[in-house]
Amino acid sequence: MSNAFPYAYFVLAVLAAYLMGSLSFAVIVSKFMGLNDPRSYGSKNPGATNVLRSGNKAAAVITLLLDALKGWLPMALVQWFGKDYGLGDSTLAAVGLAAFLGHLYPVFFRFQGGKGVATAAGVLFGVHWALGLAVLLTWLLVAYVTRYSSLSALMAAVAAPVYYLMADRLAWYLDKSVLTMLVVMGALLVWRHRGNISNLLQGKESKIGAKAKG
């Protein structure tokens, strides 16, 4: 394949990742399954945790998987085919961040998206399966102990770049662009959870499995 236009391929890859990230599956799955719009109840966040508050566990699981898939797939495509088009680790990082930003600010839904936890998980697995698994186990442990999805997400957001910094002792290569992406993504996750942080401090945060109000 030709390497004549690597910047054009870079832009196309990032744009495609953003558009894929802009598919708000919480809204799409809820509509397809005849449920209320997740933006109208509970936390009003279009994400899997809020869909779970509808009482439909299947819809929540499908939303979770699809939101994670749209974070993982663009990165997997770059890893599988990017070398033929001159795309390397910097593109991998940009594509992961673009998919994540698409979920947060989806062009198809008036730039009103979710908090990005599942999509971030997909991106982490796109970087390396071991990184994704380590962060997922961190989320599960905190969720099991506290029953707070938001606190689990916050701990996972902080843990991801820390785990990646340990990469020189493990089986994958440390890349500064990927590390930067993880730090930016973690900071955005914390920012998107600022309301949850306030609720946690005040003891008002809803626990996993709590029914929706309204």
Tell me, yes or no, whether 209 lies in a domain: no
Tell me, yes or no, whether 83 lies in a domain: yes
Please report the DSSP string for 12-39 in residue order.
HHHHHHHHHHT--HHHHHHHHTTPPPGG
Question: Based on the number of CB atoms within 10 Å of its own CB, is 114 exposed (0-12), middle (13-18) or buried (19 or more)?
Answer: buried
pLDDT at residue 3 greater than cutoff 80? no
Tell me, yes or no, whether 102 lies in a domain: yes
Tell me, yes or no, whether 171 lies in a domain: yes
Split at pLDDT 50, 70, 90, the class of 19 is: very high
Residue 207 or 112, more confident: 112
Tell me, yes or no, whether 161 lies in a domain: yes
Identify the pLDDT of residue 145: 93
Identify the pLDDT of residue 4: 53
Identify the pLDDT of residue 212: 54
Tell me, yes or no, whether 108 lies in a domain: yes
Q: Which residue carries 């730090």 as its tokens? A: 183
Query: pLDDT tens-digit profile of 51-80?
Result: 988 888 999 999 999 999 999 999 999 999
- Percent of the chain scoring above 70 in pLDDT: 92
Tell me, yes or no, whether 169 lies in a domain: yes
Rounded CA-CA distance 80/150 in Å is: 33
The pair of structure tokens assigned to 27 is 């809204």
Rounded CA-CA distance 14/51 in Å is: 28
Tell me, yes or no, whether 212 lies in a domain: no
Query: In this structure, what DSSP letter does residue 42 have?
Result: T
What is the greatest pairwise CA distance in the chain? 58
Rounded CA-CA distance 86/104 in Å is: 28
Cα torsion 40, 151, 157, 67 to 10°: value is -30
- pTM for this entry: 0.89
Provide the number of structural domains found in the chain. 1
pLDDT at residue 7 greater than cutoff 90? no
Contact 128, 93 (CB under 8 A): no
Give the structural domain span for 110: 6-202
Rounded CA-CA distance 63/128 in Å is: 22
pLDDT at residue 2 greater than cutoff 70? no
pLDDT at residue 171 greater than cutoff 80? no
pLDDT at residue 9 greater than cutoff 70? yes
Contact 151, 145 (CB under 8 A): no
Identify the pLDDT of residue 1: 45
Query: pLDDT tens-digit profile of 101-147?
Result: 999 999 999 898 999 999 999 999 999 999 999 999 999 999 999 98
The whole-number average pLDDT for the span 12-33 is 95
pLDDT at residue 209 greater than cutoff 60? yes
